[in-house]
Structure 1
Amino acid sequence: MRLLTLLLLRLMAAVLLCLTLTIVGLVWDAHRSIEADVSATATRVDQRLRALYWQHLMWRNGISRGSLIPLPDWDTVETQSIISPGVCVTFGLPGTTPHKLCSQVEALGPPAPHWFAAAYLTVMGDFSPVVRQLSLHDERAGPILTAADTEAALRRAWSEISTVVNVAVMLAAGIAVLAAIMIGHALMPARAIVGALQDLEEGHLGPHLGKFNSTEFNHIANAVNRLGTTLKQTNSERIALTARLFQVQEEERRALARDLHDEFGQALTATTALAAIIETRAIPERPDIAHDARAIAKTQEYLMKILRTTLVRLRSQSIEELGLEASLRQLITDFNAQSKSGTIFRLHMGGHLAELQKQVAVDLYRVVQECLTNASKHGRPTEVTVRLEHRNSSEPHVTLSIEDDGGGDSGHVSTALGQGILGMRERLAGIGGSLSIANARKGLLITARVPLSSEGAHV
């Protein structure tokens, strides 16, 4: 899950929790407010009835006070005006039917939804009534029952809570949107850091990141830049070492080829001469000696053929003397001549290949040689095509491709740990190049790319 999404989900969870706590607080406050209004209404009605009693007593000039109970009519508009909205008062003198007087209900807002009413009553319970005993002139005039009308109380609670909740929801939505924008802006450096790491993965080494506003991201960026610088330095050292190793290898190849030619070649030539002498001087009575001499000569001829082939593979003097183009043409000619399965080897070249550095030319020649050998040894292609092109574009480079129709799986070849593939990769890495293996229409396509502007290309 993306960090931005995770942070927004956590923020929404926190907002929902705060909203829930706010709703609970509003419900509790609304319930207490209704109970407070009920209690205050009971007090005001009690005072109102006492005032009516004394007012009526004064009108009658204090005569026959005991007969003033019952009181005059109390359920008037004036009495209703002191009753809080949604509250009902029930009162009756002894011996009379109690009368119920309620304040307005419709003014409290629309009816509450059924789910809200059920949830409210389940959590908070019914509203508790308030009972006050009215005593007039030391006589009990009857109880005053003050209670909240359930429907009116639910209307009032729903009106108060819904109004605040609507505001809270809009506020929470606004906070979420602004937070998403701010968090997204704050996390923008993460994309740049990921991009820099991907560049490092693709081989684009060196520092890539600048300064950020966040101290934490600056620490990460500095670490990534240091990593890129270290990798670049290490890679440069590795390329230089690899190039030197292949130079030493070429020197050893030339020394080995020289020793084989001078020592082993001369020994084979001498062996041929000795075999001819033995065959000539063999006496007629010992035909087996002449036969053995001819066998030795035949074996020597086979060894000489192997020696010539080995010398061709070992020597690179022809590249220095003839150039890369002529050496590749000779290599293709040799493979066509030595092919026992009828494989046709083709060569296409373009660009100014003569301008290539010596080490680049030698390494490209060795890569072609290794690919042709692998195609002949491990597959049964009918045709192998080699294309080599020097492109002088904004980024000068050499592109080499070897395509065959002998089947094979590029995935298996790419992950194989054979010395041939590994050696080609290391050889190209030594001159700053790269190697890729893909499936062709009927076989494999091996592509090498060497940027001539890199350090390794000018070794």
Structure 2
Amino acid sequence: MSAFVPEAEPEPEPVRGFWQRRSLRWQVMVAVIAINLCAALAALLVVIANARRATEAEMTASLVVAERLVEETVQRLAGSHGGEASLAQLPLHISGLRHVRIAVEDMQGRIVDIAPEAGDGGGDRDEEVPGWFAALVTVDAGIRDVPVVEGGRVVGHVRVSGEASDEVAEVWSDTSDLAVLALGVNIAILGALYLVLGRLLRPLRTLSVGLSELEVGHFEHRLPRPHVRELAAIADRFNALGTALNAARADNARLNERVIHVQDDERRQIASDLHDELGPCLFGLRANLESVERLAGRVEPDLGRRIGERTGTMAEILDRVQGLNRRLLRQLRPMALGHVPLAAVIGDLVADFEGHSPEHRFHLAVEDVAERYPDSVELTVYRCIQEAATNALRHGDARNIAIGLRAADGELRLTVEDDGVGMAPRAAPGLGLTGIGERLSALGGSWRIVAAEPTGTRVEMSVPIGGDQAMDKVAAQ
């Protein structure tokens, strides 16, 4: 786990239109449905145009045939009855014609009779056809008027008008059957398209999940290889990227750990030099000052007093130098690390905090901790406690600080909890904690800052026990 980074304020999602918020599958399906609706509308317009032309041609032909039949029938009846054709007999001889309506009228315009159409006994088909469709298809074929002559004078008329109901019903029947077939085919096509799009887009959703995993640092995540060639190439590149990032992280972890060890070795060497070289020198100076102070008592009083003042000043400076040396040793590396048990070193650190801050209360709990750990582990635990406790005293305004350290599952788990004011929302950790986080990350450890209950801050840290184990953990991620 990398160094702690506070949660950033989420960026507002850009305002997008209704269409952009929909999924790709939804957009494709809507586009296909829209295309099918346009095609259906165009097909309906073509069907209506063709039906109007066919109906007009059929009506015209039917009127011509019906007009000739009526004329021949009128002449035949007039010849067989001695020139006296009966208007009442005409409907019996001119019935059964399709697509026309024949009405026999007398001279006063009264309808004597109406000849039945072919198929009239089979039911009224007009009720099956919607009015809007009939209005679109029906055409005006005209009216033909055939006079009925009886005894040399006109006694009536036979009015032949076009009747498109049968033709419209046939067109409607064909159109509705075709529409049902087209609807079924389109439903099947849309269902197949829905399934195919789901199969094609599933790798994209998997890719999105994979990118999210990479974003949070899970470089070991791999994508299954889809059957689509183009998507398979994308999955291969993603997996290669994950492998490269994982290898780079492992290399960085090894480099960081090496840097940590080099720094620790340098600090150890500097601390050893300060302790072994500067310490004895300071001790020698103090011993000589004490000797000079004793010799000053043997000289005349005035000179002895001045020598005493000078030696006192030099002793104060020497005290400050020795104090500075001890602080440098403590900052570089506590000399007790590696020589006494870790719990005892931590206890001395807590006692040192109590001595410098007597108004604060410290609680230390150590469980299942071994006496010795690798040098880098012990120093990291020491620095973590030192930095977290210092922050609680300096910035948290805490009265009580609880420190817990225990070994579990191959790692040391450390908690430092205080009852102070806590961290401000969205506040970034300081340089000290950030440095601690980088050190933990280099050793394969982790850390986080959470709010304590009811108030305060809780810092949780963990570090694998042993540098080799830490590196194995990092490489396995």
- TM-score band by shorter chain is 0.7 to 0.9
The answer to whether 1:421 aligns with 2:433 is yes
Counterparts in 2 of 1:319-338, with a 5 A limit? Answer: 319-338=337-356
Q: Does structure 1 residue 368 correspond to structure 2 residue 382?
A: no
Q: Does 1:398 align with 2:412?
A: yes
Partner of 1:8: 26
2:146 paired with 1:129: no
- Quote how far apart the aligned CAs of 1:370 are: 2.0
CA shift digits 1:199-230 (9 cap, x unpaired): 33333323522322122221121111111111
The alignment covers a number of residue pairs equal to 437
Partner of 1:446: 459
Report the residue type matching 2:368 in the other structure.
G
Q: 1:253 aligns with which of 236, 242, 267?
A: 267
- 1:70-89 map, 5 Å: 75=91, 79=95, 81-84=96-99, 89=101
Q: Which amino acid aligns with 1:423?
A: G
Which residue type is aligned with residue 235 of structure 2? A
Q: Which residue of 1 aligns with 2:10?
A: none
Higher RCO by CA contacts (8 Å cutoff, separation 6 or greater): 2
> Any conservation in 1 of the 2:63–2:144 contact (CA below 8 Å)?
no
Matched, 1:40 2:62: no
Please tell me whether residue 314 in structure 1 is matched to residue 332 in structure 2.
yes
Q: CA deviation at 1:350?
A: 2.4
Structure 2 unaligned runs (5+)? 1-18, 149-156
Instruction: Evaluate the alpha carbon distance shift between residue 304 and residue 457 of structure 1 in structure 2; reply closer, same or farther with a 3 A threshold.
Output: farther
Q: Answer yes or no: is 1:297 the counterpart of 2:311.
A: no
Indicate the SS of the match to 2:226: coil
Deviation at 1:243, TM superposition (A): 1.0
What's 2:397 paired with?
Answer: 380
Q: 1:455 Cα shift?
A: 1.6
CA distance in 1, matches of 2:167, 2:372: 96
Note the C-alpha offset of 1:235. 0.9
CA deviations over 1:380-410 (Å, ceiling 9, x no partner): 2112222222223xxx433222111222326
Q: CA deviation at 1:188?
A: 2.4
Matched, 1:435 2:447: yes
> What's the CA shift string for 1:69-109, capped at 9, x where partnerless?
99886556964x4333xxx6467789673968796683133
- CA separation of 1:283/1:406 partners in 2, compared to 1, >3 Å: closer, same or farther? farther
Shift of 1:6: 3.0
TM (norm. structure 1) is: 0.77
Change (3 A) 1:256 1:283: farther
Deviates more, 1:230-239 or 1:52-61: 52-61
Q: List gaps (5 residues or longer) in structure 1.
A: none
Distance 2:474 2:179 in 1: 73
1:379–1:297 distance in 2 versus 1, CA, 3 Å:
farther
Cross-structure match for 1:197: 211
Distance 1:34 1:59, change over 3 A: same
* Counterpart residue identity of residue 389, structure 1: R
TM-score (normalizing by structure 2): 0.75
Secondary structure in 1 matching 2:199: helix
Q: CA RMSD in A?
A: 4.2
What's the secondary structure of 1:420's corresponding residue?
A: helix
Deviation sequence 1:296-340 (CA, Å, 0-9, x none): 423432332232233122224522222322222222222222225
User: What amino acid maps onto 1:328 in structure 2?
Assistant: I
Counterparts of 1:107-122 in structure 2, within 5 Å, are 107-110=125-128, 112=130
Aligned residues of 1:404 and 1:445 also touching (Cα < 8 A): yes
Confirm whether residue 351 of structure 1 aligns to residue 364 of structure 2. no
8 Å contact kept, 2:101–2:163: yes
Contact persistence 1:431–1:457 (CA under 8 A): no
**Structure 1 residues 264 and 102, CA, compared in 2 at 3 Å: closer, same or farther?**
farther
1:41–1:83 Cα contact (<8 Å) kept? no
When residues 267 and 357 of structure 1 are mapped into structure 2, their CA distance, relative to the original with a 3 A threshold, is: closer
C-alpha distance 319-293 of structure 1, shift in aligned 2 (>3 A): closer
Are residues 371 and 101 of structure 1, via their aligned partners in 2, closer, same or farther at CA, if it must alter by over 3 Å?
farther
Q: Offset of 1:294 from its aligned partner? A: 2.6
